[in-house]
Amino acid sequence: MLQHPIPPPTHDTQYRAIGLVWGKYQPQDQFTRGEMILSETENLETVLLGRVMNVVKKHIDLEVPHLWVVYPRTRQKQDYLHLQIVGVWEPDTLKESSQRAEQLETEAVSEVKAEAGYFSIRGEVVFYSESEQKIVVKIKRFSQGKARFFKLRLVGVLPDEKDNLGWFWELDAQLKGEELVVTKGRKITPMREQRQPNRAPKKIISSPQKKATSSSEKKPKPILRRTKKRSPSNPEEEN
């Protein structure tokens, strides 16, 4: 069975952002940093990931264009697209270094090349403006066993559905110039827990206050009654 450089997702909520570009990788001062020359007037900032550096150095002629497997990223501050090379689709050249190449035929390679510019984006839509045709997708990736997130900006509109935000989407995009333009979208499942209906607040039963101890109780002050002083007896009356 022939394989594809972008395999189908393994499950409904598999995060990913991956695509194919046809062009020439032109390194600059460092071999792992350079530009992807897409045409005479179009190029994108590109980095070469370490896992494919040796393969590219030993087997790939950088003077001619190739079909590259790339990860798209959006520079958050500058807000522009750049690419990360994760692989190169050269089954004829990489027979010794690619297990997939052993199963490929010439017809299959030409079909894959026709899909250059295609990107598969799967993640949570966290921002959407139909008037600005701006979509921001939050994508989770694992780095050294830890889950990390990044945001990818796309151009286009989503299907006319309610509650686009907070849902996991499967999006197809096409690279046009320096933008990823959405061509198809499908809403998969909500990513946030639905709010529960309002419930009557629970009654708070307060425990009765303890009576103060006898030592702390204030005793009522005794009422003092005034007594009349007896006047001395008249000696004449005693006789």
Q: Phi and psi of 141, rounded to 5°?
A: -135, 160
Q: Which residues of 177-188 are buried (b: 16+ CB within 10 A; e: fewer)?
A: eeebbbeebebe
Give the H/E segment covering residue 22.
strand 16-27
Alpha helices (H) in the chain, listed in sequence order: 50-59, 106-113, 235-238
Residue 102 is part of which domain span?
16-190
Is residue 182 assigned to a domain? yes
**What are the angstrom distances between the C-alpha of 120 and each of 50, 91, 221?**
23, 22, 88
Is 215 inside a domain boundary?
no
Token reading at 202: 């629970």
pLDDT score of 191: 87
pLDDT at 62: 94
Please report whether residue 66 resides in a domain.
yes
pLDDT given at position 187: 94
Q: 3-class SS at 202? A: coil
Q: Which whole-number Å values give the CA distances from 205 to 17, 173, 202, 208, in the listed order?
A: 53, 58, 9, 9
**Higher per-residue pLDDT: 146 or 213:** 146
Residue 160's pLDDT band, with cuts at 50, 70 and 90, is confident
Instruction: Answer yes or no: are the C-beta atoms of 67 and 88 closer than 8 Å.
Output: yes
H/E run at residue 59 = helix 50-59
Q: Per-residue confidence at 78, pLDDT binned at 50, 70, 90? A: confident
Would you say residue 230 has pLDDT above 90?
no
**Residue 207, in any domain of the structure:** no
What's the confidence (pLDDT) of residue 110? 52
* This prediction's pTM: 0.71
Q: Which residue has the higher pLDDT, 24 or 159?
A: 24
In a domain, 174, yes or no: yes
What pLDDT is attached to residue 16?
Answer: 95
pLDDT band at 126 (very low <50, low <70, confident <90, very high): very high
Tens digit of pLDDT for each residue in 48-66?
A: 998 889 989 988 999 999 9
Domain membership flag for residue 38: yes
Averaged pLDDT of the chain? 79
Angstrom distance (rounded) from CA 58 to CA 238: 147
Contact yes or no for 178/81 (Cβ under 8 A): yes
**How many domains are contained in the chain?**
1
- Position 3 confidence tier, pLDDT thresholds 50, 70, 90: low
232 is a domain residue: no
In sequence order, the 6+-apart residues with CB closer than 8 A to the CB of 56 are 25, 48, 62, 85, 88
- Tell me: pLDDT of 104 over 50: no
Q: Is residue 70 part of a domain?
A: yes
236 has pLDDT over 90: no
Largest Cα span, the chain: 157
pLDDT at 163 (0 to 100)? 83
